[in-house]
Amino acid sequence: MAKSRSGVFKKEASELLNRFNASLSFDKKLYEEDIKGSLAHADMLEKQGILTKDEAKAIADGLKTVLSEIKNGKFVFDIQDEDIHMAVEKRLSEIVGKEIGGKLHTARSRNDQVALDFKLYVQKNSLHIMTFTINLIKTLLDIAKKNTDTLLPGMTHLQHAQPINLAFHLLAYMCMFRRDVERFDSSYERNNFSPLGSAALAGTPYPINREKTAKELGFDAPVSNAMDGVSDRDFALEILFNISVLMMHISRLAEELILWSSMEFRFITLSDEYSTGSSIMPQKKNPDVPELLRGKTGRVYGNLIGLLTVLKGLPLAYNKDMQEDKEGVFDSVETAAISLQILNETLKTMSINKDNMLKACAKGNLSATDLADYLVTHSNIPFREAHFITGKAVARAEELGVDISQISIEELKKVDDRIGDDATVFLSLEASMNARNSKGGTAKSATLSQINDMEDWLNGFK
Ligand code: ARG
């Protein structure tokens, strides 16, 4: 019989109810948080004179025994116990006796207990994800430092636009991941308040010390309202949202890795360690890793929408619907953790085909804007007119079968005699890239200063 059933019940719970109601199969993941919370609670009860020293010691020793039993795989999880909270408490009572074990739950409810355990899990994993994301930024930065001279076509609409360097391209992703780290960090700060001691919904008549348990468990302070303490799942929504945005960034990078490793691009080659084969076509090496990163992003979004929907109609305070908060969070956290690690390794082990990137720059008239800019700066022609003239020059280059960066000065002058003798100097790919030296631009000098900024941020973080 599940221990949450008091003497009010005249019949046993049905087998079907036990199966439907239980969360033990998934919330057993919270065993460490549950025992940590109970240790802090029992210690506080003793300091407040609610438990005797001997009782508190027996409970603490018993909880540590339960912890090692779970860790060693000796603990028997029984669905009849409903959830991890009841399962741990039942085993504690078996070890220390019901007389003492039954006192642990004084001045506490499963409602504040589950809110606490879940929040501890979310806070701990926010820090893990931040560390993995920082490792990813470090890898991108290492690759960037070696590739400030590696030219590739910058694109808009997936069409060749302007030449950029690879470091600059990767810095765009570093900026996204940096915001992700900051987002997890700010959620951590905002939610770092302990629900323990909220009890069922209205607080407790026992003289508890919520500040003590809050500090002991690594929180800044207790939450200020008990009803909010047991009903709030914003922290869970925030980690789901933060992971969704992070995975969206990962997915965009993954999409580029897929494109770049295709035969059409061949900008990169994924390592054998992180490529997969085909069961029928022996020549194939498939980018399953970035494809799965892209695909898993969908499920992570689903977890966010799922919990938002579960919560939207709930009256205060705790409702059993809230038991549905955990599986999606566990899934998103585990997905983010493995995704960040495998993306990091995939990037570290891939090879960059600089020649193919450069060859691709010779197509698409990437430096056309530079001709327009030249006409503005050197011939005092309004930009709109310069834009039109340049279009004619591009059309001429296409007729000749050359890229605008390769066209002769004679041909250019035929398009418009205001084009000076020195114009082609500005049309080389390198000149084009380095011309964009505004702050945040792709010029090598501007790229190097972005690298410095990113390094400063990394060093300053923590
Ligand atoms: N297993 C429950 C959950 O995950 C624990 C809290 C149950 N509280 C209650 N009053 N039924 O939400």
Q: Give tens-digit pLDDT for 388-433.
A: 999 999 999 999 999 999 999 999 999 999 999 999 999 999 999 9
Quote the crossing angle between the two packed helices 110-145 and 31-47, to the nearest 10°. Answer: 130
Q: How far is CA 336 from CA 24, 128, 299, 422, in A?
A: 23, 10, 11, 53
CA distance 104 to 92: 9
pLDDT at 220 over 50: yes
pLDDT for position 278: 86
pLDDT for residue 208 is more than 90: yes
> How far is residue 53's CA from residue 274's CA, in Å, rounded to a whole number?
56
User: Which entry of 68, 186, 278, 408 is annotated as an active-site residue?
Assistant: 278
Question: Could you tell me the maximum CA-CA distance found in the chain, to the nearest angstrom?
Answer: 101
Mean pLDDT of 145-151: 98
Residue 128 is a catalytic residue: no
- Structure confidence at residue 282 (pLDDT): 87
Q: Return the closest-CA partner of residue 77 out of 114, 28, 38.
A: 28
Ligand 1 in contact with 11 (CB < 6 A)?
no
User: What are the Cα distances from residue 118, in Å, to 33, 364, 403?
Assistant: 8, 53, 60
3-state secondary structure of 10: coil
| Identity of the amino acid at 127 | L
> Of 144, 59, 131, which is closest to residue 98 (Cα–Cα)?
59
| Confidence (pLDDT) at 462 | 65
Q: For a pocket test of ligand 1, which of 77, 114, 118, 119 has the largest count of ligand atoms closer than 8 A to its C-beta?
A: 114
Can you state the angle between helices 84-96 and 53-71, rounded to 10 degrees? 120
Tokens of 86: 């009841």
Q: Is-catalytic flag, 198?
A: no
Cα–Cα distance between 109 and 104 in angstroms, integer? 10
CA gap 118, 136 in Å, rounded: 27
- Residue 108: Cβ within 10 Å count: 25
At residue 137, what are phi and psi to the nearest 5 degrees? -60, -40
pTM: 0.96
pLDDT at 76 exceeding the cut of 70: yes
Q: For 180, phi and psi rounded to 5 degrees?
A: -60, -50
